[in-house]
C-alpha cells in the first residue's frame, strides 16, 4: 500500500533499525519505545489489522508468533516478554498495518531505583523512606481526626529534651545565687 508507513519501512523507503528480515516478515525497533526493549514483528504483505485477518493468513500469523521467541532472545529477553497486538480504534491501533509488539527488559521503576541509589546512596534513601513514613502517619492521624465526632487524641510528639535540660540548668543557677 503506497501511503502505509510499515510498507515503506518494508521496502526500505523509510529507515528503521531492523533486527530481522526474511521473505515474508521483518522486525524492527519501535521509534517510541515504551520498554527498554521494544520491537515489532510485521508481515511484508499489507494486512490492515487483525480485523482483516481470515484463515488464509494462518501461516503468516503462525510465522510471526513462531519467530517471537528467537528474536526476543536475540535482544536479550531471556526471562520473558510481553506481546501486544492493538486492533482498530477501540484497540488504540495507530498504524494500520498488522504488527505484533514485543516488549521486555528491566522494569523502568527498578532502573530509577538503582539510579537513585547510585546518586544518593542507601543511607539517604532510608532517610527519605522514614520521612515518607512520618508524612503518611500524619496524614492518617489527620484523616482519623476529621472523620470522628469527638476530637482525636493528639499524637504525642517527642519532647524537646535539649530545651528542658537548659531550663532545669537555668533554675538550678537561680536557686544557687
> By the criterion CB under 5 A, which residues form the site for Zn ion?
1, 4, 6-7, 46, 97
| 14 binding ligand 5GP? (CB under 6 A) | yes
Whether the CB-CB separation of 77 and 105 falls below 8 Å is answered with yes
Cα dihedral sign, 65-71-77-82: negative
Q: How far is the CB of 17 from ligand 5GP (least distance, A)?
A: 7
Decide: helix, strand or coil at residue 159: coil
Q: Is 94 in the site for ligand 5GP (CB under 6 A)?
A: yes
Question: Is 99 one of the annotated active-site residues of the chain?
Answer: yes
Q: Which of positions 73-92 make contact with ligand 5GP (CB under 6 A)?
A: 86, 92
Phi and psi at residue 133, to the nearest 5°? -60, -45
Selection from ligand 5GP, Zn ion, none that 5 binds (CB < 5 to 8 A by kind) is ligand 5GP
User: Angle 150-151-156 (CA atoms, 0-180°, nearest 5)?
Assistant: 140
Give SS3 for 27. strand
Query: Given the complex with ligand 5GP, which of 68 and 116 has the nearer CB atom?
Result: 68
Task: In angstroms, give the least distance from the CB of 97 to ligand 5GP.
Answer: 8
Alpha-carbon radius of gyration of the chain: 31
| Catalytic residue, candidates 38, 97, 99, 101 | 99
Here the cell at position 128 is 527519605
Q: Annotated active-site positions, please?
A: 99
Residues that bind ligand 5GP (CB under 6 A): 5, 14, 16, 28-32, 86, 92-95
Amino acid at each position: 500500500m503506497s501511503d502505509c508507513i510499515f510498507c515503506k519501512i518494508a521496502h526500505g523507503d523509510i529507515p528503521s533499525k531492523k533486527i530481522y528480515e526474511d521473505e515474508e516478515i521483518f522486525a524492527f525497533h519501535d521509534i517510541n519505545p515504551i520498554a527498554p526493549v521494544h520491537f515489532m514483528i510485521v508481515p511484508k504483505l499489507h494486512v490492515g489489522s487483525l480485523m482483516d485477518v481470515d484463515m488464509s493468513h494462518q501461516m503468516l500469523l503462525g510465522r510471526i508468533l513462531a519467530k517471537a521467541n528467537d528474536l526476543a532472545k536475540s535482544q536479550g529477553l531471556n526471562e520473558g516478554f510481553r506481546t501486544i497486538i492493538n486492533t482498530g480504534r477501540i484497540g488504540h491501533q495507530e498504524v494500520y498495518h498488522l504488527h505484533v509488539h514485543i516488549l521486555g527488559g528491566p522494569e523502568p521503576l527498578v532502573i530509577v531505583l538503582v539510579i537513585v541509589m547510585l546518586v544518593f546512596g542507601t543511607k539517604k534513601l532510608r532517610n527519605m523512606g522514614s520521612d515518607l513514613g512520618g508524612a503518611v502517619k500524619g496524614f492518617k492521624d489527620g484523616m482519623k481526626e476529621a472523620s470522628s465526632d469527638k476530637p482525636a487524641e493528639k499524637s504525642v510528639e517527642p519532647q524537646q529534651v535539649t530545651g528542658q535540660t537548659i531550663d532545669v540548668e537555668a533554675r538550678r543557677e537561680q536557686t544557687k545565687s
